[in-house]
Amino acid sequence: MPRFSIMPREPKFFDLFEKSAANVAKASREFADFLENYSNIPLKVARITELEHEGDAITHQIMEQLHRTFVTPLDREDIALLTERLDDMMDFIEDAAIAMLLYRIEQPTTRAREMAAVLVAMTSELVVALPRLRNRSRMREILGHCVEINRLENEADAILRHALAELFDDTPIADVIKWREIYEHLETAVDKGEDVANVLEGVVLKHG
């Protein structure tokens, strides 16, 4: 008599999670390169926007799959949260890039480059961590990546404090307003990355 399992074997969710994380990681690298090689600004911002659109398409696929799947490999709310936070992270990276274009920023600051480096490191951790969701015997390995992501978020907080203090050191008020917004976008992108790690930690504690 054949044996049946109610556990889902459809790997689609995991494929899409990994695709989403890889897309965000690519956007963070594009943004960091944009700041390091500050030229052809409209073209580079357009490329980041293109990646954001790709991320939206992946998010739509995940949510569509979630609505069509009766038994999911993870709790439905965790799937939705993980998807939304990755999408949020992408959105704020794009927001920072667009703000630099719209405000006609002449040169990026050292602190902006440091924040971008944190985002690259954080998304790299997510790219390594997410495939561990496929195998419950390896899920607990995710926790080490979550710890590192939390450390990176603390590092970003310190960078932001220095950045804001430097803004009020003989900086024209118009530039203060522009850079405060850009830094807020970068800080929120980092915070959303930490939110992804928090969701992953919760999943491990439930299933790992």
Domains of the chain: 12-207 (1.20.58.220)
Residues ≥6 apart with Cβ < 8 Å to 8: 69, 71, 72, 73
pLDDT at 4 over 50: no
Q: What digits encode the pLDDT tens for the residues 188-208?
A: 999 999 999 999 999 999 886
Backbone φ and ψ of 68, nearest 5°: -95, -10
Band of pLDDT at residue 10, cut at 50, 70 and 90: low
Q: What digits encode the pLDDT tens for the residues 139-186?
A: 999 999 999 999 999 999 999 999 999 998 888 999 999 999 999 999
Mean pLDDT of the chain: 93
* Helices and strands (H and E) in the chain: how many: 6, 0
CB atoms within 10 A of CB 197: 24
Q: What is the pLDDT of residue 169?
A: 83
**131, 21 contact by CB (below 8 A):** no
Q: What is the pLDDT of residue 11?
A: 67
Band of pLDDT at residue 136, cut at 50, 70 and 90: confident
